[in-house]
Copies of this chain bind each other. A is one copy, B any other.
């Protein structure tokens, strides 16, 4: 059996406000979760400042080794919004005004004081790009080849992701099973390693927690093979029980 093709994506979060700690990023988790539903694996994330060279380096490295590249942030109307220019530079194409984006902005701002040069900056795209609908605030997202350029404000990003749902080709779904236990992970490390090795294509992640005054761990098994996943889950539950530990399907 050939190994199933895994589709991967990378994400670049663009913005000084994340690196300064002023703004707590919500897009990594949002996009990670959305990609799982599209059967695309988030392979790596970079957070970079509002600096063209930093964006260009990240774009060119990550677009080459992933099926998809997403960016968030830096597509607004002000001088610190340089994402479009940086991505155009990375691609070696000029920045042009997208006629449909201009129409969208003119309609959106018709009752809000009209367009001005700053607002029309948001109609600029790397040449050859399509638009991603923005149902919330006018200015669209941008798609260029395998690059998806999204807003930084999480609620707007959510709307753009919603518009893209189902439109990206993905691979086999990555299935997961979670088993929770009050067993300290350091008491069952051998069990986890042995069972993972015995189940090809399954990965077991161990995530300890401390809550309600007790410690424990959730063991998350991931695989694209449903039968192997079920076997791995059952073997793990049996092994935990045989060692005298509790286990709870779905996690704690």
Contacts and interface: CB of A to CB of B under 8 A. Distances in A.
A244 interface: no
Contacts of A36: 20-21
Interface string A19-31: 1111111101111
A42 B17 CA distance: 11
Interface stretch (A86-94, A181-189, A227-235): A181-189
A76 interface: yes
Judged by DSSP, the binding face of A is mixed
A205 interface: yes
Given A44-B47, A153-B208, A196 B19 contact: no
A46 B43 contact: no
A140 to B, nearest CB: 15
Contacts of A187: 113, 116, 118
A17 B48 CA distance: 21
B118 A186 contact: yes
A179 to B, nearest CB: 14
Interface in A69-85: 76-81
B76 A208 contact: yes
Interface residues of A, number: 69
A152 B196 CA distance: 22
Contacts of A31: 21
Interface string A37-75: 000011111111110001000000000000000000000
A223 interface: no
Given A20-B36, A50-B205, A118-B189, 19 more contacts: A16-B203, A17-B220, A18-B28, A19-B43, A20-B174, A21-B36, A22-B207, A22-B220, A23-B207, A24-B29, A45-B46, A46-B46, A77-B189, A78-B185, A78-B192, A79-B196, A80-B204, A118-B190, A153-B210
Interface of A: 13, 16-26, 28-36, 41-50, 54, 76-81, 112-113, 116-119, 121-122, 137, 153, 155, 174, 176, 184-187, 189-190, 192-193, 196, 203-208, 210, 220, 222
